[in-house]
Amino acid sequence: MTPVVARAPAKVNLALHVGPRRADGFHEVATVYQAVDLYDEVVAESRRDGVVSVETRDDGGNPVAGVHDDDRHLSVRAALALQSRLGVRDGVHLRVRKHIPVAGGLAGGSADAAAAMVACNRLWGLDAEVRVLAELAAGIGSDVPFALFGGTAVGTGRGERLVPVAAAGRISWVVVTSQRGLSTAEVYAENDRSAGDVASPVVDPALLAALERGDTAATAGLLRNDLQPAAVRLRPTLAAILDVGRDAGAVAALLSGSGPSALLLVSDGGPAEALAAAVRPRVLQLDADAAVRFAHGPVAGAAVVDEVC
């Protein structure tokens, strides 16, 4: 069979409200996701032996630190879930090209899973219904359903229950990423140590209204991340990076998810390239291995594409 290429976007959290820890170990959350144009790509190649395997590489063709090319890889779990649910006998070899940082709060692993799922759906000729893919995605990881659909959406439960938001216009970001990731589990644990009693999380309707109007100025004042203080305590230089962004003209600065990726919101009409150029020298003084790039959202979710990795 001809290999199938798919890609899926990174996500940013415009709001992340964290509630109490649940009996299953997850936290109840209310978040506003937005998909941005940073993508991981997956090539799915048929295997007749029924085995699901994966090989992850960066742009230079090198193995990616922190990624395990075995059944811990979310793309493998996605392919296995689809294979089992629909009774597929063929296997697949997945070649993952990483562009989204690992453990960066941008859901790169979830993007891999979503891209693998749509690629295998095409490769195996399944034509599975969207509801089936969404159900399987929720069993793989909290952010995987959003990686499938993309756009802008409110996520509740542990993030897997989605309601689309009709966001107007385009939002531009400068994204500062680090080669040193942060463990989501460690950030949540640090947050739990200082959170005290917490109420059930709710998204601010004013933020949703601002997004629906395409009002970047109003959106800037409503961004929030409950995990940010915990992440900053674990990685104090993040506070300085956020300050650099504000000083350079970002209209808002916050971490995405559990960090350490920093999001610098670009003003309406302001070129993201100019803000990126302004912050890069000072960011590199704080973190010599950081990368400064720009991204825009919202974009669509996981999809089969023509280009080859």
| Per-residue pLDDT reduced to its tens digit, 69-110 | 999 999 999 999 999 999 999 999 999 999 999 989 999 999
pLDDT, tens digit (0-9, with 9 covering 90-100), for 217-271: 999 999 999 999 999 999 999 999 999 999 999 999 999 999 999 999 999 877 8
What is the rounded CA–CA span in Å between residue 198 and residue 25? Answer: 16
Instruction: Report which residue type is found at 244.
Output: V
Three-state DSSP at 207 gives: helix
What is the rounded CA–CA span in Å between residue 183 and residue 102? Answer: 10
Quote the pLDDT of residue 246. Answer: 97
pLDDT band at 194 (very low <50, low <70, confident <90, very high): confident
The residues annotated as belonging to the active site are 11, 143
Domain ranges of the chain: 4-164, 171-297
Number of Cβ within 10 Å of residue 55's Cβ equals 13
* pLDDT score of 309 more than 70: no
The residues that bridge with 153 in the sheet, in sequence order, are 33, 164
Considering the domain 4-164 in this protein, what is its CATH number? Answer: 3.30.230.10
Do residues 210 and 218 lie in contact, with contact meaning Cβ atoms separated by under 8 Å?
yes
Quote the pLDDT of residue 307. Answer: 61
* pLDDT score of 292 more than 60: yes
Question: What's this model's pTM, rounded to 2 decimal places?
Answer: 0.94
pLDDT band at 308 (very low <50, low <70, confident <90, very high): low
Cα 225 to chain centroid, rounded:
15
pLDDT, tens digit (0-9, with 9 covering 90-100), for 201-218: 999 999 999 999 999 999
What is the rounded CA–CA span in Å between residue 83 and residue 224? Answer: 39
pLDDT, tens digit (0-9, with 9 covering 90-100), for 118-176: 999 999 999 999 999 999 999 999 999 999 999 999 999 999 999 999 999 999 999 99
What is the rounded CA–CA span in Å between residue 308 and residue 4? Answer: 9
Quote the pLDDT of residue 1. Answer: 75
Which CATH class, in words, describes the domain spanning 171-297? alpha beta
pLDDT, tens digit (0-9, with 9 covering 90-100), for 30-78: 999 999 999 999 999 999 999 999 999 998 899 999 899 999 999 999 9
Overall average pLDDT of the 293-299 stretch: 95
Six-digit token string for 243: 């300050």
pLDDT band at 306 (very low <50, low <70, confident <90, very high): confident
Q: Which residues contact 247 (CB under 8 A, 6 or more apart)?
A: none
What is the rounded CA–CA span in Å between residue 210 and residue 219? Answer: 6
What is the rounded CA–CA span in Å between residue 268 and residue 218? Answer: 11
* Neighbour-count burial of 284, counting CB atoms closer than 10 A to its CB (0-12 exposed, 13-18 middle, 19+ buried): middle
> What does the longest C-alpha to C-alpha distance in the chain come to?
57
Three-state DSSP at 101 gives: coil
Q: Which residues contact 227 (CB under 8 A, 6 or more apart)?
A: 16, 18, 187, 188, 191, 255, 257, 258, 259
